[in-house]
Amino acid sequence: MTGTRWLDDLEMAAWTAYLTASHLLERRVEEQLKADAGLTHAQYEILARLSAAPDRRLRMTELAHGVVVSKSGLTYQIGQLEKMGLVERATCPSDDRGVLAVLTDRGTECLERTAPGHVTVVRELLIDLLTPDELETVIRVMNRVETAARAGTRTP
Interaction site with DNA (CB under 7 A): 27, 31, 40, 42-43, 59-61, 64, 69-80, 89, 92, 95-99, 155-156
CB of 21 to DNA, least distance (A): 15
- The torsion of the CA quartet 134, 137, 138, 142, rounded to 10 degrees, works out to -170
CB of 48 to DNA, least distance (A): 14
- Judged by CB under 8 A, does residue 35 bind its own copies? no
Which position among 73, 104, 126, 155 is part of the footprint of its own copies (CB under 8 A)? 126
Which DSSP string do the residues of the chain spell out, in sequence order?
--------HHHHHHHHHHHHHHHHHHHHHHHHHHHHHS--HHHHHHHHHHHHSGGGEEEHHHHHHHHT--HHHHHHHHHHHHHTTSEEEEE-SS-TT-EEEEE-HHHHHHHHHHHHHHHHHHHHHTGGGS-HHHHHHHHHHHHHHHHHHHTT----
CB of 53 to its own copies, least distance (A): 14
Which position among 33, 39, 45, 74 is part of the footprint of its own copies (CB under 8 A)? 45
45 binds, among its own copies, DNA, none (CB under 5 to 8 A by kind): its own copies
CB of 72 to DNA, least distance (A): 3
Q: Select from 48, 46, 42, 41 the least CA-distant residue to 60.
A: 46
- Segment interacting with its own copies, rule: CB under 8 A, options 32-40, 55-63, 89-97, 119-127: 119-127
Residue placing its CB nearer to DNA in the complex, 38 or 136: 38
Contact status, residue 135 vs residue 127, Cβ threshold 8 Å: yes
Enumerate binding residues for its own copies (CB under 8 A).
4-7, 10-11, 13-15, 17-28, 45, 67-69, 115-116, 119-120, 122-127, 129-130, 132, 134-146, 148-150, 156
